[in-house]
Amino acid sequence: MFTLPKAGASKDKEQDEDVRHATSFIAEIARMTRLEKGLTQEELGALIQYTASAVSAMETGVQPPSDQMLERLEAAIGDGRGIFDAARKYVLMEKYPVRFRNFSKLEASAHMISSYETLVVDGLFQTGPYARALIGGGYPPLPSAKVDELVEARLARRALFDRDPMAMIELIVEEAVLRRPFGDWEVMRGQLASLADDARRDNVTVQVLPQDRGLKGSYAGDRGPMKLVETEDHEHVVYLEIEDESVLVSNRAKASRLFQRYAKIRAQALSPDESLGLIERLAGERI
């Protein structure tokens, strides 16, 4: 079993430094390119529709560039070289919590991802308002700029839905998750409608584990959430996360046991059609 670095560990800090170095590097390229073209920070800001102070914050590393800023830098001063476009995935990586960064690489290239969620809608399926309510309402509270970064990074993961080659994606979600609102009821209805839309994708399967499943004498989901991955090399690993700690299970025997448990949970869930009907019904009413 391979354990991801814990928060505060030296390896954790080294990884954080590596990502910051990538962000600093692209910021320096932006500054040098701006000077080469004879532009002031204010003039570049006008070209990309940002303030001069935002350009300054990016160049000095005070605020990492947003995905949108990198897109606009590419269009304005990239000269078709693709440097700023190529930097986007590395800058986005910085915005993930350190404990998630190693797994995010596996997720982005996965052949198949299967998730079981017990508390909230899986991050891959979250809408912007739902993610913002969830992240912004957590404890300890985060600065608004950090919330913005985390929401942007989470939504960027949705690119996996439309990736070529196509990834197969499964989600089993506890019914209680669909009835647990964040933000307000409108945010929750929007999240449920989006989940229903995702469930209709050809490469996505969504199933709901009924709230009363325990009354049937067998309930396989009592050990908590997990995320199973078949990598591009067809290896099988399992990602587990609780209270800001994470573990990546790569031992074949242990991973196999978790895959078997997931299969049992899937067998106990509603069918995809029944699940979609329930999600659609809840999306149309005040839960």
Which pLDDT tens digit goes with each residue over 80-109? 998 888 887 777 666 666 667 778 888 989
Q: Could you tell me if 171 and 189 lie in one domain?
A: yes
| Amino acid symbol at 259 | F
10 Å Cβ neighbour count for 19?
19
Q: Could you tell me if 74 and 153 lie in one domain?
A: no
Residue 136 lies inside a defined structural domain of this protein: yes
Q: Could you tell me if 196 and 154 lie in one domain?
A: yes
Q: Domain range spanning residue 240?
A: 97-283
Tell which of 64, 94, 124 closes a domain: 94
CA distance to 34, 35, 162, 217, per residue, from 90 (Å):
21, 24, 20, 48
Residue 5 lies inside a defined structural domain of this protein: no
Q: Could you tell me if 15 and 115 lie in one domain?
A: no
Tell which of 94, 114, 147 closes a domain: 94
**pLDDT for position 20:** 54
Q: Could you tell me if 104 and 170 lie in one domain?
A: yes
Contact 276, 207 (CB under 8 A): no
Q: Could you tell me if 161 and 224 lie in one domain?
A: yes
**Phi, then psi, of 171 in degrees rounded to 5:** -140, 125
Whether pTM > 0.75 for this model: the answer is no
What is the domain-level CATH number for residue 141? 3.30.870
Q: Could you tell me if 78 and 147 lie in one domain?
A: no
What whole-number distance in Å separates Cα of residue 81 and Cα of residue 178? 45
Closest CA to 173 of 211, 133, 131: 211
Q: Could you tell me if 88 and 106 lie in one domain?
A: no
* CA torsion through residues 228, 10, 20, 140, sign: positive
Residue 125 lies inside a defined structural domain of this protein: yes
Q: Could you tell me if 140 and 203 lie in one domain?
A: yes
Q: Could you tell me if 27 and 132 lie in one domain?
A: no
Q: Could you tell me if 72 and 126 lie in one domain?
A: no
CA distance to 27, 111, 194, 233, per residue, from 156 (Å):
20, 18, 15, 23
Q: Could you tell me if 71 and 200 lie in one domain?
A: no
**pLDDT for position 96:** 64
What whole-number distance in Å separates Cα of residue 207 and Cα of residue 267? 10
Number of domains, the chain:
2
List Cβ neighbours of 213 (8 Å cut-off, separation of 6 or more). 219, 221, 268
Tell which of 60, 94, 128 closes a domain: 94
Q: What is the pLDDT of residues 238-281, one digit of tens each?
A: 999 989 888 989 899 999 999 999 999 999 999 999 999 999 99
**pLDDT for position 102:** 74
